[in-house]
Amino acid sequence: MTTNPSIYKTPDGEKVVMAIYEKALANWPVPYERLNFSARHGETFVIACGPISAPPLILLHGAGTNSAIWGADIADYSRYFRVYAVDLLGEAGKSAPNRPAWDSPAYAEWLEDVFTALRIEKAVLVGISQGGWTALKFAVSRPERVEKLVLMCPGGIIPDRVSFIFRAIGLSLLGEWGTKQLVRMLYGGEPIPEGVEEIIVQMTRNFNPRMGVLPIFSDEELRRLTMPTLLIGGTKDALRDIPKIAARLETFLPQLEVMIIPGAGHVLMNTMSRILAFLEVEEKVV
């Protein structure tokens, strides 16, 4: 296991990021609990909401962010599920700064410990980008514990676009202007919500993102994904070729549904109705 306690550029920078997070939690649209517990690869923070007796659903955010990204969707999820938004290890949240090796069993082991701590036998997993990769890592290791799988522009299916990586590196050297250009790339043809650019500027200014490439899942691993799975992505995803991801998954997943959104980028919005339909709760909407 790799431990990196210096995931922020300065102690003050960590305070800035945590202040942004706390502001988001202060505006959380539903009642919630904060949970902290130990796991094999680091202390883990979870936002729990929704009826305790409802079926469990786990949300996994992407790189360089935290569970605050689910704020716009959490009210819908928590109407039907006991929702657990989990901060990934080593990212800009409240879980441990540990960054376990991606090419090890660590992330599957960590998420198994999350299931144990939350007393979950089987759950729906929803992951976006690196969170999608993390959901896949667990699902190929413990398929019997995944009820359904929702993958939003996931990593690990095909290699990421090299062109995006080089552009992102170049823009990262151009300060605030470069960060805003990168945000526009990530949103594709979608409008950027008010305030998002400034938040990402602050996160970029103060957080050290994890470098490296997510490992690609083997054919044998993907064949283990027999549970119902929904893939969602956009036609203007600058980082990942969603049609090619869909084509590879269709080869191995017997219960795959695909939603490719015209004009959408790597950041996905307005997907809730499709996800709820996949989760078969649409008839309960009032």
Per the CB < 8 A criterion, the answer to whether 145 and 224 are in contact is no
Alpha helices in the chain (DSSP H): 11-26, 74-80, 106-117, 130-141, 162-172, 175-187, 196-206, 219-222, 242-252, 272-278
Tell which residue, 43, 45, 19, has the closest CA to residue 34: 45
Phi and psi at 259, nearest 5°, equal: -130, 110
Q: Which residues contact 251 (CB under 8 A, 6 or more apart)?
A: 219, 222
d(CA 114, CA 284): 29
Q: Is 266 a catalytic residue?
A: yes
**In the sheet where 146-152 sits, what is the strand order?**
33-37, 44-49, 82-86, 56-60, 123-128, 146-152, 229-234, 256-261
227 token code pair: 């549970």
Pairs from 192-201 (Cβ < 8 Å, separation ≥ 24) = 199/20, 201/176
Give the up-direction half-sphere exposure of residue 228: CA atoms within 13 A in the CB hemisphere: 9
Contact 137, 111 (CB under 8 A): yes
Question: Active-site residue among 266, 267, 268, 275?
Answer: 266
Give the number of other CB atoms < 10 A from CB of residue 247.
13
Q: Scanning the structure block, which residue is given the tokens 């080089």? A: 166
Three-state DSSP class for residue 157: coil
Give the residue numbers marked as catalytic. Answer: 266
